[in-house]
Amino acid sequence: MTRLAPYLLVAAFIALFIAPWPVPAVLALILALPVPAAPLALGLAFDALYGPPGLLPLATLLGAFATLAALLVRRRLLPGIMAA
Amino acid sequence: MRTRTWQRSKCSPAALLSGVVLGVALLVFAARLVAPGLLLAGVAPLFTAGNALARASSGFFSAFGNTAALAAKNRTLAQANATLELENEALRQKAADLGALIGTSTPATPGITATVLARPPMAPYDTLILGSGSEAGITASMEAYGPAGTPLGLVESATGGFARVRLFTAPGVVTDAWVGSTRVPVTLHGAGAGAFSATVSQGSGIAVGDLVYLPGPPAGGGATPVARVAHIEGTASDPAATLAIASLVNASSLAWVVVRPAPPGVLLMPPASGSATTTAP
């Protein structure tokens, strides 16, 4: 998955422009573990492109939440799996 | 054997990728804050490519349809279209005759036709990104109209070559409208995805299928139907009923809009709660 991550990242950024929003959202979730900052970055780009001024940046907030969750998983679960 | 500097580095591929992608995203976000027109000018070719891809894929998948059935459907639609054109022309002429008789005819305000670069569901938050902006005469608070002069939303911001329109169906947008043949006044709350919700008192006489009207374009004949009541929630014993209302225009298929000054009284006024409010005259 780490080898595919750069290609999926490029696909996710391109999907922001050519695909309905669930597509980059799903790609962001897939990329969350190999690239923890991907959901936050995609959320930031999403709100920068489409977010109306004055409105809550929902995509950024959800991306930040997904990034935090991914970091937690990487810190707690992956070392446990590797130790096992 | 001496290890190279990059081998001694503790930067994992994940951290490197994270840093790069976060940097790109922050750059895009900064561009939106500092130079929004420049950002849209840079990504406009991508929007155009996306629209072209959507059209091409639609044509590709439609080739798998039953040709005979498609031809029959095409003939039926062509006949219905011809009939509607005749009826429309008759009504237009009737309105012109009445206006001349009463003496209140007002020339229609010319509008600015703008291409839609991004629309739902690609652009969430029920916004449209237009390919024309202040250079074409589009300014904030102008109103965007779809096919048949249907009011769609208000221009939120306009840069040199681009503009953003917030649809009336966007969450947080509140619009005053009328429902049904008796023009019952209601307050529409945007629910996203081309839907509204409204609360009316029981016994208001509103039924499923009733049309919802907004002020139309200036000199366009007054109230214009924009949505239809799809569902009514609530029992006869409840004091109020909740209307589920579906927009007549499919924002996902908009290729162009016409932008005109909003009718008098239709303003985008953010109330104290922070959501946007439009008030019909």
Predicted confidence at residue B270, as pLDDT, reads: 39
pLDDT at B275 over 50: no
Report the distance separating Cα A21 and Cα A27, nearest Å: 10
Average pLDDT over every residue of B226-230: 92
Work out the minimum CA distance from A74 to partner chain B, whole angstroms. Answer: 11
Average pLDDT over every residue of B70-88: 85
Report the distance separating Cα B59 and Cα B68, nearest Å: 16
Using a CB-CB cut-off of 8 Å, the residues of chain B touching A54 are 270, 274
- Low-confidence winner among B135-139, B182-186, B275-279 (lowest mean pLDDT): B275-279
pLDDT at A55 over 80: no
Predicted confidence at residue A50, as pLDDT, reads: 87
Question: Which residues lie below 8 Å from residue A19, measured CB to CB, with a gap of 6+?
Answer: B50, B122
**pLDDT grade, residue A63 (50/70/90)?**
very high
Whole-structure pTM value: 0.77
Residue to test with chain B: of A30, A46, A49, most B Cβ within 10 A: A49
Percent of chain B with pLDDT over 90: 23
- Low-confidence winner among A33-47, B194-208, B213-227, B242-256 (lowest mean pLDDT): B213-227
Predicted confidence at residue B33, as pLDDT, reads: 84
Average pLDDT over every residue of B114-120: 89
Work out the minimum CA distance from B162 to partner chain A, whole angstroms. Answer: 12
Report the distance separating Cα B38 and Cα A50, nearest Å: 14
Predicted confidence at residue A25, as pLDDT, reads: 92
pLDDT at B107 over 70: no
Percent of chain B with pLDDT over 70: 82
- B121 closest CB neighbour out of A20, A40, A42: A20
Q: How is residue B172 written in tokens?
A: 């947080």
Tell me which of B103 and A72 has the higher pLDDT: A72
User: How many residue contacts between A and B have a Cβ separation below 8 Å?
Assistant: 101
Predicted confidence at residue A82, as pLDDT, reads: 52
**Cβ of A52 and B166 within 8 Å?**
yes
Using a CB-CB cut-off of 8 Å, the residues of chain B touching A44 are 22, 25-26, 28-29
Predicted confidence at residue B281, as pLDDT, reads: 39
Predicted confidence at residue B88, as pLDDT, reads: 84
- B121 closest CB neighbour out of A14, A18, A21: A21
Which DSSP string corresponds to chain B?
-PPPHHHH----HHHHHHHHHHHHHHHHHHHHHH-HHHHHHHHHHHHHHHHHHHHHHHHHHHTTS-HHHHHHHHHHHHHHHHHHHHHHHHHHHHHHHHHHHHT---PPPP-EEEEEEE-TTTS-TTEEEES--GGGT--TTEEEE-GGG-EEEEEEEE-SS-EEEEETTSTT-EEEEEETTTTEEEEEEEEETTEEEEEEETTS---TT-EEEEE-STTS-SEEEEEEEEEEE--TTSSEEEEEEEESS-GGG--EEEEEEPPTT--EE--TTS--EE---
**pLDDT grade, residue B221 (50/70/90)?**
low
pLDDT tens, residue by residue, B3-56? 454 444 556 777 888 888 888 888 888 888 888 888 888 888 888 888 888 878
Report the DSSP pairing between strands B142-145 and B127-130: unpaired
| C-alpha A62 chain-centroid distance | 9
Tell me which of A34 and B236 has the higher pLDDT: A34
Chain B residues near any Cβ of chain A (below 8 Å): 13-14, 17-19, 21-22, 24-26, 28-29, 31-32, 39, 43, 46-47, 49-50, 53-54, 118, 121-125, 127, 129, 156-157, 164, 166, 170, 172, 270, 274
pLDDT tens, residue by residue, A5-41? 889 989 998 898 888 888 999 999 999 988 889 999 9
Predicted confidence at residue B271, as pLDDT, reads: 36
pLDDT at B62 over 80: no
pLDDT at B167 over 50: yes
Using a CB-CB cut-off of 8 Å, the residues of chain A touching B156 are 52-53
The mean pLDDT value of chain B amounts to 81
- A19 closest CB neighbour out of B18, B32, B122: B122
Residue to test with chain A: of B11, B51, B122, most A Cβ within 10 A: B122
Predicted confidence at residue A39, as pLDDT, reads: 93
